Structure 1
């Protein structure tokens, strides 16, 4: 993937040189910095990328390793691997991604599974997450896969846990009655809910839930 695009900030100022490309070992330090800024405590620090994980990503499946630059500075990344998921069986982020190493990547997998997406908070007004997501949709189509799928955090759910089930919470987000910084973004970016999974990830804000979401390849 090597894609140059234009972007606009919240005030409509044009920004040149938005660049989506595959990340490499020269990018590791900045990618880890973005992770730390994008996922501050109480998000578990042991879930931030480290050098060895990133090295495995680009060695195992470089096509699924994307970053986006703004004026030459990496401002976000998205990582995915191939697999085949049974929607009816629970899984954890740790198990399906090999604890973030992508050693569970399956070259014959019919789906692209999102391991991670993050954007530096300083650049979040530019729609970079949507640009990365669209680029990964293009990867799904290019590889002839069935869909993009992944478990999403539900970081506002802890506010509503005593009031709504996870399913009710998701429905209220779909109806725009509740805003969730991750799920609202994903739904606007074209993802559809499959079902919540309990104990998907160690994440107090999400009450350890993850919402399985998908985008189906329209050409399949």
Structure 2
């Protein structure tokens, strides 16, 4: 994949390219993580070279990046999984093989989101949404049934004593709560299919995530 787009930041146009990342982009991919998750975030949780090489070699179609003036500014990664892999409960580590995607199923009918990240200074330019829409293109191009993934609920800790995770998600949908991640996913066309407990170690979300999907509109 490769496409050029114009996005706007503070009213000013910016030309970006969305394409598949390759081995030559590994340093740039790690730099995205470094500036997006500075200390005290542990650096050993950034992408590492081995993980990125697994993405590129196992499923290059699911390895997308955004570039501006030759510099990487965002990325999104996904793998294919089967319905059997999704049976019962799962968490981020189990469904993505801790980010190494070693459980990628080339025959899987669901495209599962591993990660989405945009550098802080450009997060208001809509680049994250364009990466998401580009991953929908991958779903359609490969003839898959849907895109699926767990979304953090960072606003949940503020109301945890008042509502359950399911009630919080419903409140975001109805507009009673505004959650920066879930509201963003809804604006991208993702639809909720439930909540997952112990999905990831995230204090703000209290370990919960909303499972959100986008269905291929060209398949019955």
> The TM-score by the shorter chain falls in which range?
over 0.9
Aligned to 2:122: 123
Q: TM-score normalized by structure 2?
A: 0.94
**Partner Cα distance (2:52, 2:43) in 1:** 16
Given the superposition, is the C-alpha separation of residues 15 and 33 from structure 1 closer, same or farther in structure 2, using an over 3 Å criterion? same
Bigger mean CA deviation after superposition, 75-84 or 25-34: 25-34
* Inter-partner Cα distance in structure 1 for 2:90 and 2:184: 23
Q: Mean Cα displacement is larger for which, 40-49 or 50-59?
A: 40-49
Q: Which residue of 1 aligns with 2:153?
A: 154
Give yes or no for contact 1:43–1:204 (8 Å, CA) kept in 2: no
Length, aligned pairs only: 218
Say which SS state the counterpart of residue 178 (structure 2) adopts. coil
- How far is 1:40 from its partner? 4.7
Q: Does the C-alpha gap of structure 1 residues 43 and 105 become closer, same or farther in structure 2, counting only changes over 3 Å? A: same
Equivalence for 1:112: 111
Structure 2 unaligned blocks of 5 or more: none
Query: Can you list the C-alpha shifts for 1:34-63, whole angstroms capped at 9, x where unaligned?
Result: 123334567665432111100111010000
Contact 1:42 1:204 in 2 (8 A): no
**Within the alignment, does 1:79 sit opposite 2:71 as a pair?**
no
Report how far residue 127 of structure 1 moved: 0.2
The secondary structure found in structure 1 opposite 2:89 is coil
Normalised TM-score (structure 1): 0.94
1:38 is aligned to 36
Q: Could you say which residue in structure 1 is the equivalent of 2:98?
A: 99
Gaps of 5+ in 1: none
